[in-house]
Chain A
Amino acid sequence: MKGNGYTMASKPSITGIVTSVATLQVPEGGQASFNVKLATRPIAQFAKVDISPVSGDQDIAVTGATQLTFTRTNYNQWQTVTLTAAKDADTLCGQAVFRLSGNKLQEATVTAVEIDRDQPAPAFEILTDFSAVTVAEGATGVFNVKLSADPARTVAVTVGFRDGDADISVASGATRYFDSTNWEIYQPVTLQAAADQDTTNGQATFALAAEGATTVLVTAIEQDAGGEGGSKPGRVVIDPVSRIEGHLRVEVAISGGKITHAWTTATLFRGIETILGGRDPRDAPIITQRLCGVCTYVHQLCSVRAIEDASGTIVPDNARLVRNLTLGAQFMHDHIVHFFHLHGLDWVDITSALRADPAATARLAASVSPEADAIDFSAVQQRLQGLVNTGNLGPFANAYWGHAEYRLAPEENLLVTAHYLTALELQVTAAKMMAILGGKNPHPQSTIVGGVTCGGELTPDRLHTFRDHLERTRRYVANVYLPDLRVIAERYPDWKSVGGFNNFLAVGEFPQSAAPDDLFMPRGVILNGDIFNVQPLDESAITEHVARSWYTGTTDRHPLVGETQPAYTGLDLDDRYSWFKAPRYDGAAMEVGPLARVLVGYGLGKPEFVRAVHDFLIETGLSETDLASTLGRTAARAIETAIIGDGMVQWLAQLESNLAGGDKEIFTAYNMASGTGRGLLEAPRGALGHWIDFENSAIRRYQMVVPTTWNLGPRCAAGTPGALEQALVGVPVADPDNPLEILRVIHSFDPCVACGVHVIDTDNNRTFDIKVV
Chain B
Amino acid sequence: MKQRLIDRRSFLKYCGTIAATLGLSSTMVPRIVKALTTDARPPVIWLHFAECTGCSEAFLRATDPGVADILLDVLNVTYHETIQVACGQKAEYNRDQAVADHAGEFICIVEGAIPTADNGIYGMIGGRTMLDIARAVIPQARHTIALGTCAAYGGLPAAQPNPTGAKGVKDAIGVDTINITGCPPHPMNLVACITSYLLNGRMPSLRPDGRPEFCHGSTVHAACTVPHGCMQGYNCKGPRTYNNCASLHYNQESWCVQAEHQCIGCSEPNFWDLNQPFYNPMWMSMFATYRATATPHEEQTTASCTPCHGGDIFEKEEARQSNPRKFQLAMHREHEISLMTNRSCASCHPEAPGATNERIDD
Contact = CB atoms under 8 A, between A and B. Distances in A.
24 contacts: A138-B127, A142-B135, A238-B87, A239-B127, A240-B91, A242-B86, A267-B123, A275-B159, A283-B279, A293-B51, A293-B184, A383-B4, A394-B78, A399-B86, A421-B68, A428-B63, A428-B251, A453-B287, A454-B259, A566-B122, A568-B122, A667-B287, A754-B53, A770-B117
Nearest to B226: A456
Contacts of B5: 379-380, 383, 421, 425
B277 A279 contact: yes
Contact of B279 (A5, A280, A437, A454): A280
A453 B260 contact: yes
Interface stretch (A111-119, A244-252, A595-603): A244-252
Contacts of A1: 337
Given A269-B123, A290-B156, 18 more contacts: A136-B119, A139-B129, A140-B127, A142-B132, A188-B136, A190-B136, A223-B119, A245-B52, A275-B156, A275-B159, A275-B163, A293-B56, A294-B52, A296-B54, A435-B250, A435-B251, A668-B288, A669-B284
A440 B251 contact: yes
A439 B82 contact: no
A243 B96 CA distance: 19
Nearest to B127: A139
Nearest to A396: B85
Interface stretch (B69-77, B299-307, B314-322): B69-77
Contacts of B278: 280, 282-283, 286
Contacts of B125: 239-240, 247, 267
A297 to B, nearest CB: 11
B117 to A, nearest CB: 7
Nearest to B128: A140
A424 interface: yes
A283 B274 CA distance: 13
Which 10 pairs between the two chains have the least Cβ-Cβ distance? A293-B54, A439-B259, A440-B250, A271-B163, A435-B251, A399-B85, A280-B277, A188-B136, A186-B139, A435-B253
Nearest to B272: A287
Interface in B146-204: 155-157, 159-164, 166, 183-184
B258 A743 contact: no
Interface residues of B, number: 111
Nearest to A181: B104
B254 A457 contact: yes
Contact of A296 (B57, B136, B276): B57
A134 B288 contact: no
B94 A390 contact: no
A330 B136 CA distance: 37
Interface stretch (A24-32, A57-65, A442-450): A442-450
Contacts of B166: 270
B183 A290 contact: yes
B124 interface: yes
Given A421-B68, A441-B61, A287 B156 contact: yes
Contacts of B163: 271, 274-275, 566, 759, 768
Nearest to A764: B161
A345 B87 CA distance: 12
A172 B96 CA distance: 10
A425 B68 contact: yes
B119 A440 contact: no
A3 interface: no
B297 interface: no
Nearest to B119: A134
Interface in B237-283: 240, 250-261, 264, 272, 276-279
B80 interface: yes
B156 A398 contact: no
Given A139-B127, A455-B260, A185 B104 contact: yes
A80 interface: no
Contacts of A448: 261, 279
A453 B251 contact: no
Interface of B: 2-5, 39, 41, 43, 48, 50-58, 60-63, 66-68, 71-72, 75-78, 80-88, 90-94, 96, 99, 103-104, 115, 117-119, 121-130, 132-133, 135-137, 139-140, 155-157, 159-164, 166, 183-184, 207-209, 227-228, 240, 250-261, 264, 272, 276-279, 284, 287-288, 291-292, 337
Contacts, number: 348
A584 to B, nearest CB: 25
Interface in A207-264: 223, 237-247, 249
A182 B104 contact: yes
Among B80, B117, B121, B135, max chain A CB count under 10 A is at B121
A240 B208 contact: no
B256 A439 contact: yes
A386 interface: yes
A395 B118 contact: no
Given A442-B57, A770-B118, A383 B2 contact: yes
B179 to A, nearest CB: 14
B83 A293 contact: no
Residue in B88, B137, B162 whose Cβ sees the most chain A Cβ within 10 Å: B88
A323 to B, nearest CB: 13
Given A239-B127, A421-B5, A437-B259, A395 B71 contact: yes
A243 B161 contact: no
B120 to A, nearest CB: 9
B70 to A, nearest CB: 10
A293 B121 contact: no
Contacts of B93: 398
A454 B127 CA distance: 45
B87 A282 contact: no
A268 interface: yes
A355 interface: no
A439 B88 contact: no
B85 A243 contact: yes
A766 interface: yes
Contacts of B72: 383, 387, 394
A172 B124 CA distance: 19
B122 A395 contact: no
B231 to A, nearest CB: 10
Contacts of B256: 439-440, 445-446
Q: In the complex, which of the residues A296, A670, A765 has the most CB atoms of chain B within 10 Å of its own CB atom?
A: A296
Contacts of A142: 128, 132-133, 135-136
Contact of B253 (A5, A134, A294, A436): A436
A134 B99 CA distance: 23
A614 B258 CA distance: 43
B318 to A, nearest CB: 26
B287 A271 contact: no
B270 to A, nearest CB: 13
Contact of A182 (B78, B103, B129): B103
Contacts of A187: 103, 140
B71 A394 contact: yes
Nearest to B208: A5
A292 interface: yes
A382 interface: yes
A522 to B, nearest CB: 30
B284 A136 contact: no
B57 A293 contact: yes
